[in-house]
Chains A and B, each alone.
Chain A
Amino acid sequence: MHRIAHAISALPDNPALSARIVVNGVIGICDPLGGLYLPDLDILVVSDLHLEKGSAFARRGMMLPPYDTLATLRILDAVISRHNPKTVISLGDNFHDRVGSALMPELFRSMIETMARGREWVWINGNHDPDGTTALPGASMDELTHSGLIFRHEPALNASTGEIAGHLHPSATVRRREKYMRRACFATDGRRLIMPAFGVTTGGLDLRHQAMRGLFDHQTLVAHMLGRDRIYSVRFANLLG
């Protein structure tokens, strides 16, 4: 609930506690709304929007609520307003399937056009939407290298330092007085960063899941978990598997 309620009710000037991180020497701000702002480059990164997920399911007979795109775009609008970046990079799985961007209702298309006005916009292609976007502002590409950082959708096993990726929807769990709390998170060991999924109907995969194996140095890995209005940063060793 927190991100949706938050984005609809109390923005944009509600002060949020974010976390400051460094990836390959570049400073980043982890915003609790799920975006990563790189102040020195004036870039905002979001990942795994999974827009039009509801209608993708509806096409296959599961009539999920048609409100997910609107909710996700509202949060995106909020985080863009907060940082007012020169460039927005969306790290892939921007749409839940190949035809999503082509079939998107006009209302949502114009929301994105308004957000993109006066900025550069990069759509990195993901495994759900490998063909790029249709009739939207900005450029589609498979990956982008910039100032020592590599932006791509799927983390590469032998990537050099400075990779910013998505795809895995990382989440983390902490235990406190026999209670368990699980949240989406930014995961970084200083060499690579994996973004939390931004879309409102996207689930999470635990950092200890085998799909994450070999991606991070566990000694320096920290999960920056998304709370209601702040980031909670917890070392990997203190997370629950």
Chain B
Amino acid sequence: MNQIDSIPRAKTQILLPPPFLRWFAEKGWQPRAHQLELLSRVQGGESMLLIAPTGAGKTLAGFLPSLVSLTERGKIPPGSAFTGIHTLYISPLKALAVDIERNLMKPVGDMGLPVRIENRTGDTPAAKRQRQKLNPPDILLTTPEQVALLLANGEAERFFKDLKYVVLDELHSLVTSKRGHLLSLGLARLRQLAPGMQAIGLSATVADPMDLQRWLAPQRAGENNHAGLITVTGGARPEISIMRTDERVPWAGHSAAYAIGDIYKAIGETRTTLLFVNTRSQAERVFQELWTINDDNLPIALHHGSLDVGQRRKVEAAMAENKLRAVVATSTLDLGIDWGDVDMVIHVGAPKGASRLAQRIGRANHRMDEPSRAILVPANRFEVMECQAALDANYIGAQDTPPVGKGALDVLAQHVLGMACAAPFDPLSLYTEITSAAPYAYLTWETFERIVDFVATGGYALRAYERYAKIRKTPEGFWRVSNPMVAQQYRLNVGTIIESPMLNVRMVKHNARGALGRGGMALGKVEEYFIEMLSPGDTFLFSGKVLRFEGIRESECLVSQGYKLDPKVPSYAGGKFPLSTYLAQQVRKMLADPSRHATLPDQVRDWLSLQKDLSMLPKEDELLIETFPRGSRHYMVIYAFEGRLAHQTLGMLLTRRLDRAGLKPLGFVATDYSLAIWALEDLGEAFTSGRPRLADLFDEDMLGDDLEAWLNESFLLKRTFRNCAVIAGLIDQRHPGKEKSGRQVTVSADLIYDVLRSHEPDHILLEATRNDASTGLLEIERLGDMLSRIKGHITHRPLDRISPLAVPVMLEIGKEAVNGDAQDFLLAEAADELFADVMATASP
């Protein structure tokens, strides 16, 4: 719906100063209704949340109150007293802050406004940063980490005292992460430093706007504080289709290789295409396969977070100049960078969430009143259904963004240290300030005290480190840092994005004597653990090339051109989203309702009808479990549709229970849609005779002791612990002068975890780790919801052979990694079988 025409001219003239009116008139534009409404409500003193689709002029709307206010204020005469910054703009991406500076300078220049705009990111030179502190710009464009750094500085009070507005861009993507938690604490502090400050949040459509409205306003017990809301609906409805193909859609896998020909054809028929995939390895694979068939030499580029920055900037520039026909990209492009004229979005693989799909499709066509075009390419048959469900969801505007969640304790520890670095703090007033941030409104005084204790001395029951305390209580009851080194250490460790150690990938050539040369082109970065698994001579796909691993030199991974066509694909961590609860429900609905199968491609329809004949289709509100023998093993397949992470947790817990029941489970594998467990004993027979009863097996009490017992030996917790320990400041992310030595980290978080867990299992950092794991990696809440939903609705279908619906998950068996206990088992197997040539293995 376009609201442009409904603005009374008189209102515009009251709100906007003459330079703005002239500028709009010269451009032949009119301010949009939401821009003016936002302006007038902010001028009325409210904090505001603006929800609008891409192309609705959100950015200008967000800055309008600042620009008008600064125009009315006029230039500060030289020689005046120090004036702090007027407006702080915070974006999740460095690139976005830089992009906005460009886009904002243009109208400000055209209108001749007396406004100084600068950006400040990790890349800003030290001299410029220093100057910004002495002579702040009017509008500062920056990132959450920089805000934390500025706030931890002794000059923060002066720097922010004149702050009027904080503009928070892409707020929906910020608030659900630990970066959002850190930023919410920063916002609470800004409110202390500049009590009249107003927040303006800019967001794409979200499931629950009130979450964000509260986030923008100070929370106090017994009060219902929240920002005002303006929602811009509409834009033209996107045209989305699922790629039709004559090829056979595979049962399992994620490569979508079958559809490459069709994708290539679609690129050829459009001017500029954005190709989204879910993971970096998928991006590499799709890019390579497109070039294999690129007979017309279409300019097709690759863009993902691991590539060298220089290469990424080149791709972005070429895209902005419309020199490219297609870019294969991962989520690095999800956010609102301006990408020139994209005609079409092709989404390879299922989108995993309806909101995510809507945001990605929004990339095509930045003009709000023209429809976006998008094609979904499912990679396997379950994804066909998921795509269809997402498509239906997008049409009805469904939203499944995750909730904001409770603020993390490791982030809180970082913030507390930062506040001590800024100035000595009174614990009670800091507590009051912290709990005014929505994510931390839940925080008890007792937990806050434990965090302060942790920051001071590590918070150990054995009070061994009092004499080394980082912060100390003064006789007046204030906490202050013990020495200047503490502040330096804080500055080096600020932030919540913890990367696993990365190695530069550098291309080298063999010289005439066969030795490796030096200094070829840098291709990007790859996780150290991946490289550690390679032996010289192994090939892998990176930066769109097949590379041969040559070796590691210092912190670089040396590679040469590989000539094999069948590379090992980098198995990067990250980038894989689990299926959203909402979409899972839609897939269940679709499966259960044969009348909706008509919209699906023939081969998928045939597959489902075969399933109906040979077994049954799971009903929407029931849990279908099939059991069948295969080879010398017995399988159970559980169609839970709760996403890979929740299934993995369920698999861990069920195998424990099956083990106790004497059914000898051997392993399990989880996909987004189902979970397969295999065992030595006849599972079907056991369930039929009620030993154990399925209702008992799936009882919610598995989330009690079984979960606790499993967590205690799970390696997942170690990975989570490492992140928490770095964010909380227990382990340094970087050391002064040793930044490049990710490989030489002097302490191993795994070992620290083991020691801490065996000696102080209720330590606050272990509590933070468990909180993190249960919401993140383990999706325990989601599993709990499912267990209570399926109570009394479990259907067991014993079969004498594998069912059609079970084929995809069965194909995944053998690809999964084992962890924890199974490692020792495999070690034994390795030592006993594979390496039978072992020397003496005598008894003691």
- Residues of A whose CB lies within 8 Å of any CB of B are 1-2, 4-5, 8, 15-21, 29, 53-55, 57-59, 61-68, 70-71, 105, 173-181, 183, 200-203, 222, 225, 227-228, 230-235, 238, 240-241
Q: List 13 A-B contacts (CB under 8 A).
A: A4-B754, A21-B840, A55-B468, A63-B730, A66-B464, A174-B835, A179-B818, A179-B823, A183-B827, A200-B751, A200-B754, A201-B755, A232-B827
Q: Are A238 and B823 in contact (CB-based, < 8 A)?
A: no
Cα of A178 to Cα of B837 in the assembled complex, Å:
20
Q: Are B841 and A19 in contact (CB-based, < 8 A)?
A: yes
Closest 8 CB pairs of A and B: A63-B458, A67-B759, A66-B464, A232-B831, A176-B830, A20-B842, A201-B751, A65-B756
Cα of A229 to Cα of B416 in the assembled complex, Å:
43
Q: Are B489 and A61 in contact (CB-based, < 8 A)?
A: yes
Within 8 A of A (CB), among B451-472: 454, 457-460, 462, 464-465, 468, 470
- Residue B732 CB within 8 A of the other chain: yes
Cα of A12 to Cα of B489 in the assembled complex, Å:
43
> Given A4-B754, A15-B844, 16 other A-B contacts at CB below 8 A?
A4-B755, A17-B841, A53-B747, A61-B468, A61-B486, A64-B752, A65-B756, A105-B464, A174-B831, A177-B814, A179-B817, A181-B823, A231-B841, A234-B831, A234-B838, A238-B837
Cα of A228 to Cα of B624 in the assembled complex, Å:
39
**Residues of chain A contacted by B834 (CB below 8 angstroms):** 176, 238
Cα of A63 to Cα of B751 in the assembled complex, Å:
14
Cα of A15 to Cα of B827 in the assembled complex, Å:
19
Q: How far is the CB of A237 from chain B (nearest CB, A)?
A: 9
Q: Are B839 and A200 in contact (CB-based, < 8 A)?
A: no
Q: Are A64 and B713 in contact (CB-based, < 8 A)?
A: no
Cα of A174 to Cα of B843 in the assembled complex, Å:
22
Q: How far is the CB of B813 from chain A (nearest CB, A)?
A: 12
Cα of A59 to Cα of B837 in the assembled complex, Å:
48
- Residue B155 CB within 8 A of the other chain: no
Q: Are A233 and B838 in contact (CB-based, < 8 A)?
A: yes
**Residues of chain A contacted by B758 (CB below 8 angstroms):** 1, 4-5, 8, 67, 71
Q: Are B756 and A67 in contact (CB-based, < 8 A)?
A: yes
Q: Are B470 and A63 in contact (CB-based, < 8 A)?
A: yes
Contact A17:B465 (CB < 8 A) given known A62-B731, A200-B755, A233-B838:
no
Q: Are B751 and A19 in contact (CB-based, < 8 A)?
A: no
**Residues of chain A contacted by B756 (CB below 8 angstroms):** 65, 67
- Residue B824 CB within 8 A of the other chain: yes
Of all chain A residues, the one with the shortest Cβ separation from B820 is A1
Q: How far is the CB of A219 from chain B (nearest CB, A)?
A: 12
Of all chain B residues, the one with the shortest Cβ separation from A241 is B535
Q: How far is the CB of B532 from chain A (nearest CB, A)?
A: 8
Q: How far is the CB of A27 from chain B (nearest CB, A)?
A: 10
Of all chain A residues, the one with the shortest Cβ separation from B817 is A179
**Residues of chain A contacted by B781 (CB below 8 angstroms):** none
Cα of A25 to Cα of B732 in the assembled complex, Å:
46
**Residues of chain A contacted by B454 (CB below 8 angstroms):** 63
Q: Are A1 and B713 in contact (CB-based, < 8 A)?
A: yes
Cα of A89 to Cα of B828 in the assembled complex, Å:
30
**Residues of chain B contacted by A70 (CB below 8 angstroms):** 759
Q: How far is the CB of B88 from chain A (nearest CB, A)?
A: 30
Cα of A70 to Cα of B758 in the assembled complex, Å:
11
B468-489 CB contact bits vs A (8 Å, 1 = yes)?
1010000000000000011001
Of all chain A residues, the one with the shortest Cβ separation from B829 is A176
Q: Are A233 and B751 in contact (CB-based, < 8 A)?
A: no
Cα of A173 to Cα of B843 in the assembled complex, Å:
23
Cα of A54 to Cα of B817 in the assembled complex, Å:
33
**Residues of chain A contacted by B606 (CB below 8 angstroms):** none
Contacts across chains A and B counted by CB atoms under 8 Å: 158
Q: Are A58 and B843 in contact (CB-based, < 8 A)?
A: no
Q: How far is the CB of A184 from chain B (nearest CB, A)?
A: 11
**Residues of chain B contacted by A105 (CB below 8 angstroms):** 464
Q: How far is the CB of B486 from chain A (nearest CB, A)?
A: 6
Q: Are A57 and B747 in contact (CB-based, < 8 A)?
A: yes
**Residues of chain A contacted by B838 (CB below 8 angstroms):** 222, 233-235
Q: Are A235 and B835 in contact (CB-based, < 8 A)?
A: yes
Contact A233:B747 (CB < 8 A) given known A65-B752, A66-B458, A67-B462:
no
Contact A68:B755 (CB < 8 A) given known A17-B841, A17-B843, A61-B470:
yes
Of all chain B residues, the one with the shortest Cβ separation from A234 is B835
Within 8 A of A (CB), among B728-768: 730-732, 747-748, 751-752, 754-760, 763
**Residues of chain A contacted by B464 (CB below 8 angstroms):** 54-55, 58, 66, 105
Q: Are B755 and A176 in contact (CB-based, < 8 A)?
A: no
- Residue B533 CB within 8 A of the other chain: yes
Contact A233:B760 (CB < 8 A) given known A17-B844, A203-B748, A203-B751:
no
- Residue B317 CB within 8 A of the other chain: no
- Residue B807 CB within 8 A of the other chain: no
Cross-interface CB contact of B533 among A180, A228, A234, cutoff 8 Å: A180
Of all chain A residues, the one with the shortest Cβ separation from B482 is A61
**Residues of chain A contacted by B814 (CB below 8 angstroms):** 177
Q: How far is the CB of A108 from chain B (nearest CB, A)?
A: 11
Q: Are A18 and B827 in contact (CB-based, < 8 A)?
A: no
Cα of A234 to Cα of B826 in the assembled complex, Å:
14
**Residues of chain A contacted by B760 (CB below 8 angstroms):** 65, 67
Q: Are B830 and A59 in contact (CB-based, < 8 A)?
A: no
Cα of A63 to Cα of B452 in the assembled complex, Å:
13
Q: Are B754 and A1 in contact (CB-based, < 8 A)?
A: yes
**Residues of chain A contacted by B486 (CB below 8 angstroms):** 61
Q: Are B830 and A232 in contact (CB-based, < 8 A)?
A: yes
Q: Are A233 and B755 in contact (CB-based, < 8 A)?
A: no
Q: Are A65 and B759 in contact (CB-based, < 8 A)?
A: yes
Q: Are A20 and B755 in contact (CB-based, < 8 A)?
A: no
Of all chain A residues, the one with the shortest Cβ separation from B529 is A180
Q: Are A176 and B826 in contact (CB-based, < 8 A)?
A: yes
Q: Are B824 and A228 in contact (CB-based, < 8 A)?
A: yes
**Residues of chain A contacted by B842 (CB below 8 angstroms):** 18-20
**Residues of chain B contacted by A16 (CB below 8 angstroms):** 844
Q: Are A29 and B755 in contact (CB-based, < 8 A)?
A: no
Of all chain B residues, the one with the shortest Cβ separation from A228 is B824
Cα of A176 to Cα of B464 in the assembled complex, Å:
43
Cα of A62 to Cα of B837 in the assembled complex, Å:
45
Cα of A174 to Cα of B824 in the assembled complex, Å:
12
Of all chain B residues, the one with the shortest Cβ separation from A64 is B752
**Residues of chain B contacted by A177 (CB below 8 angstroms):** 814, 826
B323-342 CB contact bits vs A (8 Å, 1 = yes)?
00000000000000000000
**Residues of chain A contacted by B823 (CB below 8 angstroms):** 179, 181
Cross-interface CB contact of A225 among B747, B827, B837, B844, cutoff 8 Å: B827
Cross-interface CB contact of A238 among B824, B826, B835, cutoff 8 Å: B835
Within 8 A of A (CB), among B528-570: 532-533, 535-536
Cα of A68 to Cα of B753 in the assembled complex, Å:
11
**Residues of chain A contacted by B533 (CB below 8 angstroms):** 175, 180, 240
**Residues of chain B contacted by A178 (CB below 8 angstroms):** 817
Q: Are A58 and B841 in contact (CB-based, < 8 A)?
A: no
Of all chain B residues, the one with the shortest Cβ separation from A67 is B759
Cα of A65 to Cα of B840 in the assembled complex, Å:
39
Q: Are B713 and A20 in contact (CB-based, < 8 A)?
A: no
Cross-interface CB contact of A58 among B465, B731, B754, B829, cutoff 8 Å: B465
Cα of A179 to Cα of B821 in the assembled complex, Å:
13
Q: Are A63 and B755 in contact (CB-based, < 8 A)?
A: no
Q: Are B840 and A62 in contact (CB-based, < 8 A)?
A: no
Q: Are A64 and B840 in contact (CB-based, < 8 A)?
A: no
